[in-house]
């Protein structure tokens, strides 16, 4: 897979290059900032872009703005955003933006090389992969939409696991239930949220999480996902 990296930390940038190339991928560009990013994407035509949220010169939101710009200009291009810690506003902006596959992971997840490479592969294949910490914070935000209040605790747990990129089989194994039970929970979740069932699981998850993140109101309980990533 052809991958473009935009990361200001030399150690992390070079570490990602080595890790990805050792796994058989081709890093077509490794940039220290967003300058020249659009040109590099046009020239190198990557199949996945990995970007840091905070880039020079201000280290505030250059990376996230670059990601949103790519989402607008190349909506089908898979994006993986890395962040030092959970920044809900930035996660919300990306989740709400329409487009292709998306990943939002904390940088310390890179230390688990096997899991990180698996996440990279899943994002490139069209999955939505959100860090468990991001999911937990989005699901515990205040929301005033009564539709979210209709979800049971188990349904919120299933929704958080879907957002982490877990398959129905993986969710069933984590919750010690059958795959058929998971499918029933998923059907119920999107019926309660008003989302019509379709084949685009990523779009359903993005829409649900965008709805959760961008509303306010009574507190909701944090789901216990049991994930150990």
Distance separating alpha carbons of residues 123 and 131, to the nearest angstrom: 12
Assigned domain for 167 exists: yes
pLDDT of res. 225: 34
Of 67, 66, 73, the C-alpha closest to 95 is 67
Percent of the chain with pLDDT over 90: 40
Q: Is residue 1 very low, low, confident or very high in pLDDT (cuts 50, 70, 90)? A: very high
Domain count, the chain: 2
Percent of the chain with pLDDT over 70: 76
Assigned domain for 224 exists: no
Other CB atoms within a 10 A radius of the CB of residue 119 amount to: 23
Name the residue with higher pLDDT: 125 or 97: 125
Contacts of 38 (CB under 8 A, 6+ apart): 69, 70, 73
* pLDDT > 70? residue 206: no
Domain shared by 126 and 14, yes or no: yes
Assigned domain for 226 exists: no
Domain shared by 113 and 82, yes or no: yes
Question: 54 burial class (0-12, 13-18, 19+ CB within 10 angstroms)?
Answer: middle
* pLDDT > 50? residue 163: yes
Q: Please tell me what DSSP assigns to residue 107.
A: G
* pLDDT > 80? residue 199: no
Contacts of 168 (CB under 8 A, 6+ apart): 179, 182, 183, 186
Max mean pLDDT range (31-45, 50-64, 141-155, 159-173): 31-45
Distance separating alpha carbons of residues 215 and 60, to the nearest angstrom: 24
Q: Rg for the chain (alpha carbons), in Å?
A: 17
Provide the residue range defining the domain that includes 62. Answer: 2-130
Model pTM? 0.65
Q: At what angle do helices 10-22 and 113-124 cross, to 10 degrees?
A: 70
**What's the distance, Cα to Cα, between the start and end of the chain in Å?**
24
CATH of the domain at 98: 3.40.50.2300
Tokens (6 digits) for 49: 């872009």
Contacts of 148 (CB under 8 A, 6+ apart): 193, 211, 212, 215, 220
Name the residue with higher pLDDT: 28 or 159: 28
pLDDT of res. 175: 94
CB 104 within 8 A of CB 64: no
Domain shared by 56 and 88, yes or no: yes
């Amino acid at each position: 897979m052809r991958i473009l990296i935009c990361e200001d930390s030399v150690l992390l940038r070079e570490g990602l290059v080595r890790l990805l190339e050792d796994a058989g991928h081709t890093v077509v560009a490794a940039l220290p900032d967003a300058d020249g990013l659009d040109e590099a994407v046009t020239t190198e035509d990557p199949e996945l872009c990995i970007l840091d949220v905070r880039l020079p010169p201000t280290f505030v939101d250059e990376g996230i703005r670059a990601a949103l710009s790519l989402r607008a200009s190349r909506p089908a291009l898979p994006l993986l955003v890395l962040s030092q810690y959970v920044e809900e506003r930035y996660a919300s902006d990306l989740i709400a933006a329409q487009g292709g596959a998306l990943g939002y992971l904390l940088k310390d997840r890179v230390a688990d090389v096997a899991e990180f490479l698996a996440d990279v592969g899943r994002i490139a294949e069209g999955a939505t992969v959100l860090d468990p910490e991001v999911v937990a914070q989005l699901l515990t935000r205040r929301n005033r939409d009564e539709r979210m209040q209709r979800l049971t605790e188990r349904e919120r747990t299933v929704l958080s696991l879907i957002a982490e990129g877990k398959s129905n089989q993986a969710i069933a194994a984590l919750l010690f239930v059958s795959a058929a039970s998971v499918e029933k929970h998923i059907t119920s979740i999107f019926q309660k949220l008003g989302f019509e069932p379709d084949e685009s699981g990523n779009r359903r998850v993005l829409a649900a999480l965008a709805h959760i993140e961008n509303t306010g109101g009574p507190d909701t309980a944090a789901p216990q996902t049991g994930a150990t990533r």
